[in-house]
Structure 1
Amino acid sequence: MDRIRIAQIGVCHEHASGKINTLRRLPEVFEIVGVVDDRTASRTPRRGDIDLAPYQGLRWMSLEEVLNDPGIEAVTVEVPNNDLVPVALRCMERNLAMHMDKPGGEDLALYKTLLDGCKERNLPFQMGFMFRGNPAFQFCIAAIRNKLIGEVFELEADMNHCYGGEAYQEYIGKFAGGIMYNLGCHLIDFVVAALGRPEKVTPFLKSAPGYPASVRNNCMAVLEYPHAIVTLRSCSKDIANTDGRRMKIVGANGSIAFNPLERFDGKPVELSLNLAAAAGEFPAGKHTLRFPPQADRYEAQLLELARIIRGEIQNPYSYEHDCLVHEVTLAAAGYNRWR
């Protein structure tokens, strides 16, 4: 089958180097036409530590060259957070299939314009939420939907870390929604996929000790459902770093817990499942589930994008789902009141 001709727009997003590395590992699926260097074009907040090594040997292109190349079928949009939607809108207008990184900007109406345009054109559109290709998360979504642990009444998760030093704290302080806007969206995508639209969303945007109130690097959001309370946290001063990230889900028939949420050291993610009564294929009692090691965080998702572009599958995440996720994210990050 012919390879999909793809270009990456941007090197400044936090996930940009990871995406291009994944594309380069899939030469049988994707032909990388070129990369747009957005370092001088962007004026919105971005991290300063840009790694250009993954782009060595690739063709540098302007945004106009990408948009005007009739042979390019798809793009990955990897510009800084608040440039994502404006750039993606231009790609949508050129009928380009796209993978756009998170989050969907600080303006919900503008993001909805993008989604509506993609839907009208039947354009493949994929949000870059990094847990979509994680088998442990996919198991949890299915377990909640199928009531493996009964009706869920408690869910707790965090996206804490301590990478990036003081430069990261300065960066995150440039967003009114702080780290909940930047990282909490990954967890919100999971929660909305599993539980749907919440009844209420309440943000708690704090600063870690030693930082001004404007640096919202210690955040929590509470999502309320008819019988469930969901608490999501994200702080950039947790010495456990990403290894400390954890998930706990409790239902009327049992619980699920795992930590860390992902790993790329060749070892499996281990999930603890405890059932009061037999459910699905599992007898009552405690179980340890081991999911195959991930060699690459983004591979499963980009392979899924290729199948969507080729018409082999429908996108498992609808335009409506993506819109709801961002509506919840903006409420959880204090931009909009929940209605």
Structure 2
Amino acid sequence: MDAAFLALIAIVVVALAFDYTNGFHDAANAIAVAVSTKALTPRAALALAAVANLVGALISTSVAKTVGAGIIDAPTGSQGLQLVFAALVGAIVWNLITWYFGLPSSSSHALIGGLVGAALAAAHSVRWMGILDKVVIPMVLAPLIGFGLGYLFMLAVLWTFRGANAHKAHRGFRYAQIASSAAMALGHGMQDAQKTMGIITLALVTAGEIDSFDVPLWVVLAAALAISAGTYAGGFRIMRTLGRRIIQLTPAGGFSAQTVASGVMIATATVFAVPVSTTHITTTSIMGVGATRRLSAVRWGVAGNIVVAWVVTLPAAGAVAALAYFVTHAIVG
């Protein structure tokens, strides 16, 4: 067993570890709102999210191809494997930092930032137009769409149920949140698990194990299981931020925010094949729903801290990845 193959195995293990951290880091996206409105208990919500994440990860590989083949040109040989390894280190470290402080930053952008940072450190070509089209533009538009649709959808719900019995309506929306939570987790699996599939497939191409960028079935299954296991492990720090600190939602508001966010995630994965941030979309959908009460109902200070985390994620993960590449390259050569 040569050194290159051992390096490939190490990268696959690290990639699945990233997928696991992605699961517990972003589990709150799917369940925080349902838990905060008491539609589901934390463990029931986590179990539902884990299963739906698994199903979502098995549906498509279009986002995986965008991440693995659309951000940087596929590197080859030992340097290529070092680059992929460093990108994963950058993403994992940033995930752990933001998880520790309870900030719902984007695992997707951490991974993409890691790829770019490692590629620049290795003096490898970066597809800047691909980053603009597939990362930067969706990064700006998706949260705005989430906020706008969240606001409009909640207005439609309030108008439709304006004459309904409040107690019965609350109970009905709590039940509806079970379905919307499952849809959220499905969209999360269609987005975030595929990013790890893309990285592992990129490593396989780099190592010469496969000739074209077609995601093998074992990669799909491994990534799906890893993100589901991570989701079930939970992300209670971030759950508190999304579920309560931005705004305390009603069951109707929770249903509205989750329905909008899941719709945007599934559409971007299936129609446009772009790796959007599930965290960005979820947070801005919650803010849009909350703004229907009054703008002051949203805790904009907390939202501002989250936006700062979004802005620094790409360069911060990239910087860590670049450092990891320099260290790895100095050791391995």
Query: What is the TM-score when the length of structure 1 is the normalising length?
Result: 0.27
Report which of the two has the higher share of helix. Answer: 2
Higher RCO (CA-CA < 8 Å; seq separation 6+): 2
Report which of the two has the higher share of strand. Answer: 1
